[in-house]
Amino acid sequence: MVDQIESHWRDQLRPRLDGLSDDEYFWQPVPDCWTLSRRGRSSAPISFGTGEFTMDYGEPPHERVPVTTIAWRLAHLIVGSASTNGKQFGRTAASESTFDYAGTAGLSPTAPNFVTGCARMTWRVIDGAFRCGNGGGPLRNSRSNRGEIMIDFDALTMNYLTVWNEAEADARAVAAGRLFSDDVTYTDPLADVRGLDELAALVTGVQRQFPGWRFRRFGPVDGHGRQVRFGWELGPEDGEAPVAGFDVAVLGDDGRMVQVLGFLDRVPG
């Protein structure tokens, strides 16, 4: 398997990308292609990503099938490999919402990392991936051979904080729909809400109260069965975090969160 991947990368894909210019990277064969855009400049219904450039997206059905640029296609492949790197090979968890997309034709190190991870795979990992579908989390309707739901708590909590950090309402709604049940409840010392709409309003309120601040995970993630607890901080992206706390989430049968309990450990005076 590793030989096949390396051969495809070395002899097929990599040579075709050598010398790729930014003009070719972003070239649109027809108007309104899905592509990568500077944050806030996309005309697509939804934009994913945490960096300067975001990835266009829209929920099906589409009025017409979207045409994509080379930038979009590479981003789609790279974030897929990065997601697998995180789920299977111990790299940083990644998803469409959490990825920092490249604004130039320069290549990402994701593919070499992916190959290295494959080379280190054991039969236990391979067998587990086949049993559990994708090996990632949350895996809706994916269970172990004992009937237990299989959850990647690391990816789950990263996706949770992505929802709180996502500034684009449409992208946040898509991410929240994947992560939370329709009637999810959220309770902390300052809020008590039910359902996706009330939760969305709460997130918007927090973002307006602390403009430019971001949530980041703090400390270990502790999960078992259908519950997980994890610490977080809130503050400027490159500075100390004045706010900190921890959340406990309970998951439903499909792996989505049905209840979140929040606790505040540090708040501004």
Please report, for the chain, the start and end positions of each structural domain, with discontinuous segments joined by +.
2-121, 153-266
Q: Which of 66-70, 74-78, 79-83 has the lowest mean pLDDT?
A: 79-83
pLDDT at position 137 over 60 = no
The larger pLDDT score, comparing residue 159 to residue 183, is at: 183
Structure tokens at 160: 């949770």
Mean pLDDT of 93-99: 80
pLDDT tens, residue by residue, 29-65 = 999 999 999 998 998 888 888 889 999 998 878 788 8
90 vs 82: CA distance, rounded Å: 11
Nearest Cα residue to 23 out of 89, 69, 88, 81: 69
Structure tokens at 245: 């706390």
Q: Which of 131-135, 153-157, 204-208 has the lowest mean pLDDT?
A: 131-135
- Is residue 252 a contact partner of residue 181, using CB atoms and an 8 Å limit? yes
- 153-266: which CATH architecture? Roll (3.10)
C-alpha distances in Å from residue 14, one per residue of 18, 74, 221: 7, 12, 37
Mean pLDDT of 2-23: 78
pLDDT tens, residue by residue, 153-164 = 888 898 899 899
Question: Can you tell me which residue has the tokens 């400027």?
Answer: 236
43 vs 37: CA distance, rounded Å: 9
Which range among 54-63, 132-141, 236-245 has the greatest average pLDDT? 236-245
Nearest Cα residue to 42 out of 50, 31, 54: 54
pTM over 0.85: no
pLDDT over 70, % of the chain: 78
What is the overall mean pLDDT for the chain? 81
Nearest Cα residue to 235 out of 263, 201, 267: 267
The larger pLDDT score, comparing residue 141 to residue 110, is at: 110
pLDDT at position 134 over 50 = no
The larger pLDDT score, comparing residue 257 to residue 116, is at: 257
Mean pLDDT of 196-221: 94
